[in-house]
Structure 1
Amino acid sequence: MEHSFHRFSELFSQLGLRTDAAGIGAFLTEHSPLPEDVLLEDASFWTPAQAALLREELLEDADWAEVIDQLNVALRTQKTR
């Protein structure tokens, strides 16, 4: 089975979010830290389509799962301002 490597910016593109460093940084700052008792795909800031994409890719352990896991970690990290 062939696996593809996806960049963080590509995941943001799939989610319909800004893909530049400033946009990604702003998104992470705005939504961090995500509480530990909330699954990434259940976070209130996703649209239904975004949540479905995350859920499906994780359930299928698809190529996107690794970068989705990275997003999960990034959103649970407390940012210092």
Structure 2
Amino acid sequence: MELQEHTINTLFAQLGLDSDEASIDAFIEAHPLPEGVKLSDADFWSEQQARFLKEELVQDAEWATVVDELNVRMHQSPA
């Protein structure tokens, strides 16, 4: 059985978003999250995307590490 490697790229693909590095960087830059706003509560996600992100973190499921990485990146101040 082959295990899928979960990366930020495969997470974006899982969410139905463009998953190349430039698209990911552009998405994160266009959607900065202020402190106090949970990743899954952001208003730009579809209901399905938000539910997936929340469930992965709450259940500490297989995507949790990558979802947390995205959370950190989206809460960082632009350089």
- Name stretches of at least 5 consecutive residues in structure 2 with no aligned partner: none
Matches within 5 A, 1:2-81: 5-32=5-32, 34-80=33-79
- Partner Cα distance (2:54, 2:7) in 1: 18
- Partner Cα distance (2:4, 2:16) in 1: 20
Taking CA–CA contacts closer than 8 Å with sequence separation of 6 or more, which of the two structures ends up with the larger relative contact order? 1
Q: Deviations over 1:13-46 (max 9, x none)?
A: 11111100111011011001x1111111000111
Shift of 1:55: 0.9
TM-score, normalised by the number of residues in structure 2: 0.90
Superposition misfits of 4+ residues, deviation over 3 angstroms: none
Shift of 1:66: 0.4
Shift of 1:78: 1.3
- Name stretches of at least 5 consecutive residues in structure 1 with no aligned partner: none
Corresponding letter in the other structure for 1:45:
F
TM-score, normalised by the number of residues in structure 1: 0.88
Corresponding letter in the other structure for 2:65:
E
Paired positions, count: 77
Q: Identity of aligned pairs, percent? A: 48
Alpha-carbon RMSD across the aligned residues, in angstroms, is 1.4
